[in-house]
Chains A and B, each alone.
Chain A
Amino acid sequence: MDLEMVKYLADLGKLYFSDEELEENSRQMTSIVELMDTIKEIDISYDPLKDNKNVYLPDLREDKSAPSMPTEKVLQNAVNSGSCFVVPKVVE
């Protein structure tokens, strides 16, 4: 896998890599993709109508409100929070 592709995938995954890390990942992803490529030799296709046989989606729940988590609990793991999530300024 070339560096350009690794950089593209890293951007999709919102991951910052140094140049050395990009090189190392390019090498390792090449061998990983070689392993993944073995599935190309079998000629089958996906049938969406047969899918989710092992996902037993129960009946949808009733649309009624239920107690939610208190704000302070929701925010307890956020850094720099007062009564809200704090992010860097996004508008000029």
Chain B
Amino acid sequence: MDMKTVKVRELRKLLDEKKVSAGELCEMCFSQIKAADDTYKCYITTTEEIAAEQAKKAQERIDRGESAPLTGIPFAIKDNICTDGVKTTCASKMLEDFVPPYNATVMEKLNEQDIVMLGKTSMDEFAMGGSTQTSAFAKTKNPFDPQRVPGGSSGGSASAVSLGMCAAALGSDTGGSIRQPAAFCGMTGMKPTYGRVSRYGLVAFASSLDQIGPMARDSHDCAVILNAICGFDPHDGTSSKNSVPDFTEKIGKSIKGMKIALPKEFFAEGIDGSIREAVMNAAHTYEELGAQLVECSMPSLKYAVPAYYLIACAEACSNLSRYDGIKYGHRSKVGDSYEELIMHSRAEGFGDEVKRRILLGNYALSSGYYDAYYGKAMALRQLIRQEYNDIFEKCDIILTPTTPTTAYRCDENISDPVKMYQADICTVTVNIAGLPGVSTPCGYDQKGLPIGMSVIGRHFDEATVIQAADAFEKTFERKAPRV
């Protein structure tokens, strides 16, 4: 069995038929972690002892014939999702020693199914970045070329799934942080509709945009995981009471007659030719499957990146004000007064990118600038939502590239924040509008690096997004990294 390619459903079958045990699966993942994680740096913390105990408990449940869909499945968890008793650092010195006293709701839900947690994966500090190179502890590498970035911010989860260091993972997505690393690492990642999955226990970056989602080796696996983690949570006032379908129910059904929108701005200048070509080839595959392609326009896209950064940073500077060095988090030894203690604790604990975003958020919200920046960004948010609504009046899903380029070298872009921000152009509008979207591989460039396409759906219509992504995946030959 190749841990880099085996699906969660296949593992379920093997476990239930006793062809492999939960303990053996856990060991196989740890042997891959020991062999490759020094190079790829996917994990910040591994939890081998806890995993062995969880595997034992899962196996007992399997032996009783009571397994749930994820019982015994080895998972990696992004290090901004709180895990009771296991360090949750957000890849920041600020939370280097933080041990949450509670589980995030998604962890409670996964534990109810008796998953096996292998550890906590690296990310950009506080999820602020698209490269995982702002991590204070583990600058994760791309599984297809360790000289390149895995994307971010959920780069550790994406790379770990791609390299077989787990069977699936959880990530979080504020402006593309699940979908962009999924594209760079040649695997599948899903951002559910805002409100579909509880954010309780997800360390907050931008509360109106953040969403937890699954990362796996295809859309069907993502649907199985989404089934487990979604639903209303009284601990999260923005989680939805909408009914929850079985997200696998439309898989395999014909997409004949499905209307697929192609907004021309997503295929314009600035998008690499190889990416445009791969996504258009995917569109033609859909046509061959009986879908109808519809050209459309989203004029507000040119303002999406600044609108996103103004909203996200405004929320971030408020959310991050909780780090004072007193209740939890890094506490400076410098500073005699209350004020000085806070200022030095934050200066020592936060990295450069986090500080920049706090500055930008304060700028956007400060007196004299509020209307011109935050107010205008909120107006753009309404316009972007309206443009999506208009498209969804005529179409069922939208198809776009996930990224303008394939994975870049670790020494490129990193020192230029503006370049880094502009690279988010294809993903941020989905968060701004609160829509569900999945990124899945649709090609490889001349260097053999994966190309991702995004399927975007109506609010709470993840089932159609998964149906469409799965229909394409069945026609596409995915490559695993050669490690």
Known: A51-B382, A58-B239. A35 touches B305 (CB 8 A): yes
| Chain A residue, CB-CB nearest to B350 | A15
B378 touches A46 (CB 8 A): yes
A3 within 8 A of B: no
Residues of chain A within 8 A (CB-CB) of B358 are: 13, 15
A35 touches B306 (CB 8 A): yes
Binds A, one of B53-61, B98-106, B405-413: B98-106
Known: A31-B417, A35-B305, A36-B310. A54 touches B459 (CB 8 A): yes
A14 touches B327 (CB 8 A): no
Residues of chain B within 8 A (CB-CB) of A69 are: 101-102
Tell me, rounded to whole Å, the shortest Cβ–Cβ distance linking A26 to chain B.
10
B309-341: contact bitstring with A at CB < 8 Å (1 yes, 0 no)?
A: 110000001000100111111010001111111
| Cα–Cα distance between A5 and B325 once the two chains are bound (Å) | 25
| Chain A residue, CB-CB nearest to B307 | A39
| Cα–Cα distance between A56 and B243 once the two chains are bound (Å) | 13
| Chain A residue, CB-CB nearest to B355 | A15
Residues of chain A within 8 A (CB-CB) of B350 are: 15
A14 touches B346 (CB 8 A): yes
| Cα–Cα distance between A42 and B307 once the two chains are bound (Å) | 12
Report A61-92 residues with CB < 8 Å from chain B CB. 61, 69, 73-74, 76-80, 85-88, 90
B274 within 8 A of A: no
Residues of chain B within 8 A (CB-CB) of A39 are: 303, 306-307, 310, 373, 376-377, 380
Binds A, one of B34-42, B65-73, B360-368, B473-481: B360-368
B1 within 8 A of A: no
B175-202: contact bitstring with A at CB < 8 Å (1 yes, 0 no)?
A: 0000000000000000000110000000
Tell me, rounded to whole Å, the shortest Cβ–Cβ distance linking A54 to chain B.
3
Residues of chain B within 8 A (CB-CB) of A14 are: 321, 324, 339, 342-343, 346
- The 9 A-B residue pairs whose C-beta atoms are closest, nearest first, are A54-B434, A77-B328, A73-B101, A16-B347, A46-B379, A16-B343, A13-B358, A79-B331, A12-B362
Known: A29-B360, A39-B376. A87 touches B341 (CB 8 A): yes
A46 touches B376 (CB 8 A): yes
| Cα–Cα distance between A55 and B237 once the two chains are bound (Å) | 9
B392 within 8 A of A: no
Residue positions of A touching B, CB distance < 8 A: 1, 5-6, 8-10, 12-17, 25, 28-29, 31-40, 42, 44-47, 50-51, 53-58, 61, 69, 73-74, 76-80, 85-88, 90
A35 touches B422 (CB 8 A): yes
Tell me, rounded to whole Å, the shortest Cβ–Cβ distance linking A48 to chain B.
9
| Cα–Cα distance between A61 and B360 once the two chains are bound (Å) | 35
| Cα–Cα distance between A29 and B361 once the two chains are bound (Å) | 11
| Cα–Cα distance between A10 and B356 once the two chains are bound (Å) | 10
Residues of chain A within 8 A (CB-CB) of B339 are: 14
A36 touches B382 (CB 8 A): no
Most buried by B among A34, A50, A58: A58
A13 touches B327 (CB 8 A): no
Tell me, rounded to whole Å, the shortest Cβ–Cβ distance linking B265 to chain A.
14
Report B368-427 residues with CB < 8 Å from chain A CB. 372-373, 375-380, 382-383, 385, 417-418, 421-422
| Cα–Cα distance between A9 and B131 once the two chains are bound (Å) | 26
Q: What are 22 contact pairs spanning A and B, CB under 8 A? A: A9-B363, A9-B366, A12-B362, A14-B342, A14-B343, A15-B346, A16-B347, A28-B417, A36-B373, A39-B306, A39-B307, A39-B310, A39-B376, A40-B376, A46-B378, A46-B382, A58-B241, A74-B101, A77-B329, A87-B326, A87-B338, A88-B341
| Cα–Cα distance between A16 and B358 once the two chains are bound (Å) | 12
A44 touches B380 (CB 8 A): yes
Residues of chain B within 8 A (CB-CB) of A88 are: 335-338, 340-341
B238 within 8 A of A: yes
B356 touches A32 (CB 8 A): yes
B240 within 8 A of A: yes
B242-257: contact bitstring with A at CB < 8 Å (1 yes, 0 no)?
A: 1000000000000000
Residues of chain A within 8 A (CB-CB) of B310 are: 36, 39
| Cα–Cα distance between A6 and B242 once the two chains are bound (Å) | 44
| Cα–Cα distance between A41 and B434 once the two chains are bound (Å) | 25
B359 touches A76 (CB 8 A): no
| Chain A residue, CB-CB nearest to B330 | A79
| Chain A residue, CB-CB nearest to B102 | A69
